[in-house]
Amino acid sequence: MPAPNLIPPEKVPAPHSDFTVGVLALQGSFWEHEVMLRRLGVAVREVRLPSDLDGLAGLIIPGGESTTIGKLAVEFGLLEPLRAFGREHAIWGTCAGAIFLSKDARRNQPLLELMDITVERNAFGRQVASFEVDIPVPALKVVAPDDDRPFRAVFIRAPLIERVTPPAEVLATLEDGRIVAAQQGHLLATAFHPELTDDTRFHRYFLHLAGWAP
Amino acid sequence: MEAQTASYKVKVGLAQMLKGGVIMDVVTPEQAKIAEDAGAVAVMALERVPADIRKQGGVARMSDPELILKIMDAVSIPVMAKVRIGHFVEAQILEAIGVDYIDESEVLTPADEEHHIDKHQFKVPFVCGARNLGEALRRIAEGAAMIRTKGEAGTGDVVEAVRHARAVLGEIRRLKTMADEELYTYAKEIGAPLDLVREVKELGRLPVVNFAAGGIATPADAALMMQLGMDGIFVGSGIFKSEDPPKRAAAIVKAVTHYNDPAVLAEISKGLGEPMRGLQAADLPEDARLAGRGW
């Protein structure tokens, strides 16, 4: 039982496409996102420096440690370029990426402050409390109208989205109403990791926000 | 909608989130803060770094839970801690206090010279050391959700980590070219379960995250291990036994992200002060080598 999507992304044949999406590759689960995107037939570029953003249609900020990603983004001058990119283009943050997109993580760490959401880090507790669960995500109907399955959401030392302020909107909640996904125009935040599943609906939903027409 | 905890997916998943990062040994809450501020993805909480274990001798055991709890309180990043090989009660104790990952480590004095811990019995995930593919797959069969090279801890000499990384990755490259009917004998030869050997051939890599450890002391060492094909880095004695720990820690973090960019590596390698003095691994007598522990 191998770790999900843990293969060198080059193993998935490179698609012929001029639609290129970036994956912020400072630290974390960037390979897994690349594997998902390449399987969907989208060209991918790893982003480590500001110049890597040129010409991208959208960007995924992967899971990882938000303090590490934030620090490296500051050190390599990525904060302002990422903010400018997010004003024009789609960005999706998973877990640490969602924290990085938020306006407020209730502690002093570098944030992009692009989405009007407040997040609480490690809201479910430590690793022994990490879990997976099926949740309904009605918005995915946009890309998969005939698919009624819930989405298998994998939460790893996950944050919660405590507060969503308009124009940000709630996209998904747990059964008890706690918010785990939000959207604000072309910006998307999930507290869980669709890159650790074989279900491509969230990636297709993000690509739809980025203007992809397969 | 039943939530499922402690699944294999969430155990290996945490290691997947640590990829491309640096895990640092710390012995106090203050060091843990320095590591977090430098950009560490996790810390390894312990009473003595391997260089001191080596120097002071004696039986090396699990650290005092009180110290580990203080370190857990000090930082928001994951906290790992070490247990002796085969000491499943130390592991039960660390699980009870809620550490995020357990390292069943040859750096401590082994508690069992035949059996490792049955790691499937635990909710907390485990990382284990390995010198070659067979050893890595035996640990994965026992339930390890992450593998690291053993290297030679506490020396500041990267040569053994390189040897172990080249062994594991080279064996995987050879395995990829083997015919299916050759896998039975190969699995027997390396002492690994056949299903895992097949899986590695199929994937072209270990089925779990694979970090480098044991002797890494400079940004260049870290980038070397990444270019060889490792997924991330443990630094033990290399940071807090150096002249300027915060600066060296931050530089090693940057080196792991930009491991393929020599211009960036040159910039971040400047003016870091003295690295840890170190010991040549080749000079160690046989009984001072930690990598030989584990079966």
DSSP characters over A16-80? --S-EEEEE-SSSSHHHHHHHHHHTT-EEEEE-SGGGGTT-SEEEE-SS-HHHHHHHHHHTT-HH
Could B8 and A7 be called an inter-chain contact, meaning their C-beta atoms sit closer than 8 Å? no
Task: Give the A:B interface size as CB pairs under 8 Å.
Answer: 158
pLDDT value for A213: 86
Give yes or no for A11 touching B (CB within 8 A).
yes
Which whole number is the average pLDDT over A25-53?
97
Question: Residue A7 CA to chain centroid, in angstroms?
Answer: 19
Q: Give the 3-state secondary structure of residue A196.
A: helix
Return all residues near A158 (Cβ < 8 A) that are at least 6 apart.
Answer: A95, A122, A123, A124, A130, A180, A191, A192
Which whole number is the average pLDDT over B221-242?
97
Residue A104 has pLDDT above 90, yes or no: yes
Residue A100 has pLDDT above 80, yes or no: yes
Is the Cβ–Cβ distance between B201 and B194 less than 8 Å? no
Give yes or no for A94 touching B (CB within 8 A).
no
Q: Is A193 a catalytic residue?
A: yes
Q: Provide the residue type at B205 as one letter.
A: R
Q: What are phi and psi of A51, to 5 degrees?
A: -65, -20
Residue B45 has pLDDT above 90, yes or no: yes
Residue A192 has pLDDT above 70, yes or no: yes
- Distance, in Å, from the CA atom of B196 to the CA atom of A6, rounded to the nearest integer, reads 15
Is the Cβ–Cβ distance between B16 and A32 less than 8 Å? yes
- Which of A4, A7, A8 is opposite residue B9, by nearest beta carbon? A4
Contacting residues of A for B208, CB less than 8 Å apart:
2-3, 6
What ipTM does the predicted assembly reach? 0.97
Q: Is B96 exposed, middle or buried (0-12, 13-18, 19+ CB in 10 A)?
A: exposed
- For chain A, the structural domain boundaries read 9-209
Structure tokens at B275: 């690295």
Chain B's closest residue to A135, CA to CA, is: B1
Min distance B57 CA to chain A CA atoms (Å): 33
Which whole number is the average pLDDT over B5-33?
97
Contacting residues of B for A96, CB less than 8 Å apart:
17
- How does pLDDT run across B88-143, given as a tens digit for each residue? 999 999 999 999 999 999 999 999 999 999 999 999 999 999 999 999 999 999 99
Give yes or no for A128 touching B (CB within 8 A).
yes
Min distance B3 CA to chain A CA atoms (Å): 5
Catalytic residue of the set B11, B82, B241, B254: B82
Nearest-10 crossing angle of helices B219-228, B245-257: 20
Could B17 and A26 be called an inter-chain contact, meaning their C-beta atoms sit closer than 8 Å? no
Under DSSP, the state recorded for A149 is P
- Distance, in Å, from the CA atom of B84 to the CA atom of B231, rounded to the nearest integer, reads 24
Q: Residues A26, A181, A2, B24: is their CA dihedral positive or negative?
A: positive
- Distance, in Å, from the CA atom of B247 to the CA atom of B223, rounded to the nearest integer, reads 17
Is the Cβ–Cβ distance between B80 and A111 less than 8 Å? no
Chain B's closest residue to A28, CA to CA, is: B17
Min distance B13 CA to chain A CA atoms (Å): 7
Could B4 and A132 be called an inter-chain contact, meaning their C-beta atoms sit closer than 8 Å? yes
Range B142-178 burial, b when 16+ CB lie within 10 A, else e: bbbbbbbbbbbbbbbbbebbbbbbebbbebbeebeee
Nearest to A184 by CA among A106, A114, A135: A114
Q: Give the 3-state secondary structure of residue A126.
A: coil
pLDDT value for A18: 82
- Distance, in Å, from the CA atom of A154 to the CA atom of B3, rounded to the nearest integer, reads 10
Is the Cβ–Cβ distance between B214 and B3 less than 8 Å? no
Could B100 and A71 be called an inter-chain contact, meaning their C-beta atoms sit closer than 8 Å? no
Banded pLDDT at A187 (limits 50, 70, 90): very high
Structure tokens at A172: 């998904």
Structure tokens at A92: 């999706």
Contacting residues of A for B100, CB less than 8 Å apart:
126-128, 157
Domain A9-209 listed as CATH 3.40.50.880: yes
- How does pLDDT run across B68-84, given as a tens digit for each residue? 999 999 999 999 999 99
Which of B:242-271 have CB within 8 Å of A? Answer: 250, 253-254, 256-258, 261
Residue B1 has pLDDT above 70, yes or no: no
Under DSSP, the state recorded for A166 is T
- How does pLDDT run across A48-96, given as a tens digit for each residue? 999 999 999 999 999 999 999 999 999 999 999 999 999 999 999 999 9
Give yes or no for B275 touching A (CB within 8 A).
no
Give yes or no for A65 touching B (CB within 8 A).
yes
Is the Cβ–Cβ distance between A181 and A161 less than 8 Å? yes
- For the ranges A179-183, B259-263, B279-283, the lowest mean pLDDT is seen at B279-283
Which whole number is the average pLDDT over A24-39?
97
- Which of B3, B21, B209 is opposite residue A64, by nearest beta carbon? B21
Q: Give the 3-state secondary structure of residue A112.
A: coil
Contacting residues of B for A6, CB less than 8 Å apart:
12, 16, 203, 205, 207-209
